[in-house]
Chain A
Amino acid sequence: MGGVFPRWSNTVFWIVVVCLGLILLGTPAFLMIYVRTPQITGQFKPLKQPVEFDHRHHVRDDGIQCLYCHSLAEKSATAGIPSTDVCMGCHSQIWNESTLLEPVRDSFFSGRPIRWNRVHDLPDFVFFNHSIHVSSGIDCRNCHGMVGTMARVYQVEKLTMGWCLDCHRNPEQFLGPAADQPALGDEEAQISGVNVRGAKWRVIPPSLTHGEIDEAFVPRRITCSACHR
């Protein structure tokens, strides 16, 4: 009767086997890579905001410091989106008839808050506290990037747990020089608008070991309940 398989079936068989193998191994590999892409982490996506607020203008051109508007960053868990009256503090005087500022005036006079779109969003089970990071000497830019160069703000860092741990395991790498040394080149400071570090913040000298940092500063760098409660 003879075989049922023609000669080419060998080739086809192997092609199929290799393809199946690739799919089997490739799918998880692809997914693991995919979750690290900006598509999933939400990086580099400038969000349209109800007000065309331009950080470049305010930070670079006007030299306004982060903490002027995000004033809660050193006191509270949240850095705080400025309330409308903070905007109007200046804009009642300048550009007070600009159409771009219509939503701000609208909010101020109607009492309805401006509905900003969230750029940096952590899951609900993560309790991030701005004040402890800022006061420990973490530069705003470490997490938020060069906001002063962004027209519309976007997320720069991955904000995954692994990314958090990078710093929590080795905080000294991400801390600036001690308070008495100039933190940043003037130009850089000017661009980023970051100038949060003054003498009143406690800065961890990079020479300390983990143990010494534990002892003297933040004792729980990587314990779960530092962030998950």
Chain B
Amino acid sequence: MRDGFLAELADRHALIAAASHMRALGYRQLDAFSPYPIIELEEAMGIRRSWLPWLILAGGIAGAATAYFFQWFLVAVLYPLNVGGRPAHMPAAFVPITFEMGVLFASFAAFFGALFFSRLPRLWDPVSDVDTFDRASLDGLWLRVGGDDPKFSAARTAQELRDVGALAVRRVGGRA
């Protein structure tokens, strides 16, 4: 999706309408930019549920298991000591750290997973070279059609975007 068109829309309803229209036209390499999350947009663009939760679950289980294993291995196997008459392997005492490490690893998975799936961090992107795109983080709403979409055609796509109400259509990437 290195190049393509970027169309500015007037408001969220226009954006949602444009996105679903473009999708109905058969476009698949669509993306939209908004300063706040618009859940209906995801539906309109047919984006599937994120499977980030599974990654997070895996992270949590891995963290908890590692923590428990290390506690057991270090204090009950590697150097068991008589501490206050307590048994070396004392599951009740291992709970807090196991829990904390589970949460910690799950949180790492959530944060870095979200970045990874969003293909971030990426300071530069072709769209950021587009004039006035920077309003996307403030109040601008943009729809993008990727140049690698099989239905993409430099002339027709722009026109189609204008037809669904784009205030402006700009070329992304390549030589503008």
Contacts and interface: CB of A to CB of B under 8 A. Distances in A.
A–B touch (CB < 8 A): the answer is yes
Interface stretch (B66-74, B119-127, B152-160): B119-127
B116 to A, nearest CB: 13
Contacts of A13: 121, 123
A10 B124 contact: yes
Interface string B112-155: 00000000011111001111111000000000000000000000
A10 B128 contact: no
B95 to A, nearest CB: 27
B128 A1 contact: no
Q: How big is chain A's contact interface, by range?
A: 10 to 19
B131 A2 contact: yes
A109 interface: no
A123 interface: no
Given A10-B123, A13-B121, A5 B128 contact: yes
Nearest to A165: B79
A10 B130 contact: no
A10 B134 CA distance: 18
B121 A2 contact: no
Interface in A171-220: none
Contacts of B128: 2-3, 5
B130 A5 contact: no
B115 to A, nearest CB: 11
B130 A9 contact: no
B167 to A, nearest CB: 17
A8 B132 CA distance: 21
Contact of A3 (B79, B121, B124): B124
A1 B135 CA distance: 10
A25 B128 CA distance: 33
A6 interface: yes
A6 B124 contact: yes
B132 A9 contact: no
Contact of B123 (A1, A9, A222): A9
Given A3-B124, A5-B128, 6 more contacts: A1-B131, A2-B130, A3-B129, A5-B123, A7-B124, A10-B124
Interface of A: 1-3, 5-10, 13, 17, 222
